[in-house]
Amino acid sequence: MPAGMRVGVLTGGGDCPGLNAVLRAVTRKGISVHQHEILGFRSGWLGPVEGLTMPLTLDAVEDILNRGGTILGSSRTNPYKVDDGIARLRATLGEHRVDALIAIGGEDTLGVAEQLTHDGVPVVGVPKTIDNDLDATDYTFGFDTAVHIATEAIDRLRTTAESHHRALVVEVMGRHAGWIALHSGLAGGANVILVPEQPFSVERVCDWVQQRFERQYAPIIVVAEGAVPEGGKELLLTGEKDAFGHVRLGGVGTWLADEIAGRTGKESRAVVLGHVQRGGTPTAYDRVLATRFGLHAIDAITEGDFGKMVALRGTDIVRVPLSDATASLKTVPPERLAEAEVLFG
Ligand code: F6P
């Protein structure tokens, strides 16, 4: 194993709790076990394109294990969509004598990592996303924290909903995958869970809501931001697309609360949890997973095992080709939703 490499690290895409735990593990093991130098790139792929750096020393990563966000900053920059992006990225890596990169991100960041691998840049990927929608790993860090935050919100909303005999619609994140909605809905005892994978019938939702009111309980409806009514379309905050072609979703919760009020005559309110789900300190589970990913990623770099992503399989950390990680999204299968549906109403 070659010691003494110069290793670049970046965090890309939407931030999530646990990113700093990866940076700490990469840096601690990289320096003390492998005698590498670790160079952070700021603001996702913008960092290597524009030469924005931050040395990651033992001091720099002290006291960040439990801190949310990322000390490197993040962005949704796609270097393949920036003029001369890849040439500039290569020039930065050359200037700083970077031997290999660790890219910590979701499908977009890792998609770039995979393309770069084909273009001869040595990269190892680390999966992160609160959405838990990366196919090649059982879990991504950030998801557990987001589910805890959403579950706590549901618990709190339940008591106020019951005091006022209202229906409360809780909109959670999840563009294409409803994992946060499914897990927080199950954990919080929601009466309806709606996910992007399966268009929903408003009539059916209202039947469940009525059933709940008839038993003198206030219903809680958890809806993923990407969920769509049958025959309808995703609700957008803005049609503008980011560098990876994503629009900003939002509004389905408010729309559904209005529909419920109109159709059932019951007072309804909507709460959008939004970026609260991505903020603050990571759970113990996410800290452990993020730390293990970091420790294994720096080993993969040291062994020259590029074009790979570290992944969780059962309780083991394994390496999978980056192409597997980005080939398809891990969505909620119909049987998992059906399992939960027994508890609706
Ligand atoms: O990909 C993670 C995620 O939190 C999605 O769940 C959400 O749709 C999106 O990011 C929000 O993006 P932004 O931070 O750009 O508003």
Residue 1's pLDDT is: 64
Whether 131 sits among the annotated catalytic residues: the reply is yes
Q: Which residues pair with 8 in a beta bridge?
A: 39, 101
For Cα atoms 277, 282, 284, give the angle at the middle one, nearest 5 degrees: 135
Return d(Cα 75, Cα 342) in angstroms, integer. Answer: 40
The answer to whether 167 and 209 are in contact (CB under 8 A) is yes
Whether residue 18 contacts residue 142, with contact meaning beta carbons closer than 8 Å, is answered with yes
What is the 14 CA–ligand 1 centroid distance (Å)?
A: 6
Q: What pLDDT does 243 receive?
A: 87
Give nearest CA residue, ligand 1 atom 3: 14
Per-residue model confidence as pLDDT tens digits over 231-272? 988 887 877 888 888 888 889 999 999 999 999 999 999 999
Residue 337 burial (CB count, 10 A): 19
- Span 22-68, pLDDT tens digits: 999 999 999 999 999 999 999 999 999 999 999 999 999 999 999 99
Phi-psi category of residue 245: left, alpha or beta, with phi > 0 → left and psi -120 to 50 → alpha: left
**Measured distance CA(31)–CA(304) in Å, rounded:** 17
Ligand 1 in reach of 173 Cβ (< 6 A): yes
Mean pLDDT (whole number) for 320-341: 95
Q: What is the pTM of this model?
A: 0.96
64-101 pLDDT per residue, tens: 999 999 999 999 999 999 999 999 999 999 999 999 99
Full set of structural domains in the chain with CATH: 6-141+282-325 (3.40.50.450), 145-278 (3.40.50.460)
Q: What is the mean pLDDT of residues 292-319?
A: 98
Catalytic residue (one of 131, 133, 286, 299): 131
Whether residue 175 has its Cβ less than 6 Å from ligand 1: yes
Average pLDDT score over residue span 286-291:
98
Nearest to 326 by CA among 108, 174, 126, 141: 108
